[in-house]
Amino acid sequence: MKPAAIPGLISGIEPGSPAEAAGIEAGDQLIEIDGQVPRDAVDVQFYGAGELVTVQLRKANGLMDVIEFEKDYDADLGLQFESATWDGIQLCNNNCFFCFLKGLPRGMRKSLYIKDDDYRLSFLHGNFVTLTNLTQDDWARLEEQRLSPLNVSVHASELGLRRKMLSNRTAPDVLEQLRRLGELGIQAHTQIVLCPGVNDGEHLDRSLADLAALHPIVQTISVVPVGASPKLEEWSLRKDGIEVATASPEYAAAVVQSVTAVQKASRKAFGRSVAQCSDEFYIRANIRVPGRIAYDGCPSTRTASVWSASFWMTGTALEASCAATRSTWKAVRLSSPRARWQHPFSPPSPRSSLR
Buried b / exposed e over 272-290, threshold 16 CB at 10 Å, is bbbbbbbbbbbbbbebebb
Q: Which domains does the chain have, with CATH numbers?
A: 10-81 (2.30.42.10), 100-314 (no CATH)
pLDDT of residue 323: 41
- C-alpha distance across the termini of the chain, in Å: 46
pLDDT of residue 240: 67
Using CB atoms within 10 Å of the CB of residue 30, give its burial: 0 to 12 exposed, 13 to 18 middle, 19+ buried. buried
Please report the pLDDT score of residue 33 as a whole number.
97
pTM of model > 0.75: yes
pLDDT of residue 231: 64
Residue 99's pLDDT is 83
Task: Please give the single-letter amino acid code of residue 73.
Answer: Y
pLDDT score recorded for residue 54:
97
- In a structure prediction context, what are the per-residue pLDDT tens digits for the chain, which is 355 residues long? 655 678 999 999 999 999 999 999 999 999 999 999 999 999 999 999 999 999 999 999 999 999 999 999 989 999 999 889 999 999 999 998 888 777 777 888 888 888 999 999 999 999 999 999 999 999 999 999 999 999 999 999 999 999 999 999 999 999 999 999 999 999 999 999 999 999 999 999 999 999 999 999 999 999 999 887 666 666 676 666 677 778 899 999 999 999 999 999 999 999 999 999 998 999 999 998 887 777 877 655 444 455 565 554 544 444 444 444 444 434 443 333 333 333 333 333 333 333 2
What pLDDT, on a 0 to 100 scale, did the predictor assign at position 201? 96
Contact 159, 191 (CB under 8 A): no
